[in-house]
Amino acid sequence: MSRRVVITGMGAVTPLGLSVRESWESLLAGKSGAGEIAQFDTSGFAVRIACELSGFAVEDYIDKRDARKMDPCTHYGVAASQMAWKDAGFEDGGYDADRAGVLIGSGVGGIQTFGVQHAILMEKGPRRVSPFFIPMMIADMPSGAASIALGLKGPNFATVSACASGAHAIGVAFHTVRRGDADIMVAGGAEAAICPIAVGGFANMKAISSRNDDPERASRPFDAERDGFVLGEGAGIVVLEELEHAKARGAHIAVEVIGFGATSDAFHITAPAPGGEGAARAMKEALRDAELVPSDIDYINAHGTSTPLNDKYETAAVKSVFGDHAYKLATSSTKSMTGHLLGAAGGIELIFTALTLESSVIPPTINYDTPDPECDLDYVPNQARETKVTAALSNSFGFGGHNAVLAARRFEG
Partner 1 sequence: MADIVEKVRQVISEKLQIDAAQVTMEAAIVEDLGADSLEQADILFSLEDEFGIAADDTDEADGLKTVADIVSYLEKKVTAE
Q: Which of 269, 308, 285 is nearest to 395 (CA)?
A: 285
C-alpha–C-alpha distance, residues 382 and 367, integer Å = 6
**Considering only residues 21, 86, 118, 124, which one is a binding residue for partner 1 as defined by CB under 8 A?**
124
Q: Which is nearer to partner 1, 124 or 328 (CB)?
A: 124
C-alpha–C-alpha distance, residues 174 and 109, integer Å = 22
Cα-Cα-Cα-Cα dihedral sign, residues 308, 382, 340, 411: negative
Is residue 15 within 8 Å of residue 244, measured between CB atoms?
no
Residue ranges in 291-406 assigned as alpha helix (H) = 308-322, 335-338, 345-359
- Nearest approach, Cβ of 65 to partner 1 (angstroms)? 4
Site string for partner 1, 135-174 (x = CB under 8 A): x---------------------------------------
Q: Which one from 75, 168, 303, 402 is the annotated catalytic residue? A: 303
**Considering only residues 39, 42, 54, 130, which one is a binding residue for partner 1 as defined by CB under 8 A?**
130
Q: Which residues pair with 9 in a beta bridge?
A: 239
Q: Which one from 75, 168, 245, 340 is the annotated catalytic residue? A: 340
Q: How remote is the C-alpha of 8 from its chain's centroid? A: 18
DSSP conformational letter for 272: P
Q: Which is nearer to partner 1, 78 or 194 (CB)?
A: 78
- Nearest approach, Cβ of 127 to partner 1 (angstroms)? 3
Q: Which one from 51, 163, 195, 375 is the annotated catalytic residue? A: 163
201's CB contacts (< 8 A; 6+ apart) are none
Q: Which is nearer to partner 1, 128 or 179 (CB)?
A: 128
Q: Which is nearer to partner 1, 131 or 413 (CB)?
A: 131
Burial of 63 (0-12, 13-18, 19+ CB in 10 A): exposed
Has 163 been annotated as catalytic? yes
Strands (E), 161-311: 184-191, 234-242, 255-264, 299-301
C-alpha–C-alpha distance, residues 111 and 203, integer Å = 16
Q: Which is nearer to partner 1, 75 or 402 (CB)?
A: 75
Task: Looking at residues 43 to 102 of the shown chain, list those that interact with partner 1 (rule: CB under 8 A).
Answer: 63-65, 68-69
- Nearest approach, Cβ of 115 to partner 1 (angstroms)? 19
- Nearest approach, Cβ of 129 to partner 1 (angstroms)? 8
**Is position 388 an interface residue for partner 1 (rule: CB under 8 A)?**
no
**Considering only residues 22, 42, 97, 132, which one is a binding residue for partner 1 as defined by CB under 8 A?**
132
Site residues for partner 1 per CB under 8 A: 63-65, 68-69, 124-125, 127-128, 130-132, 135
Which residues are the active-site residues?
163, 303, 340
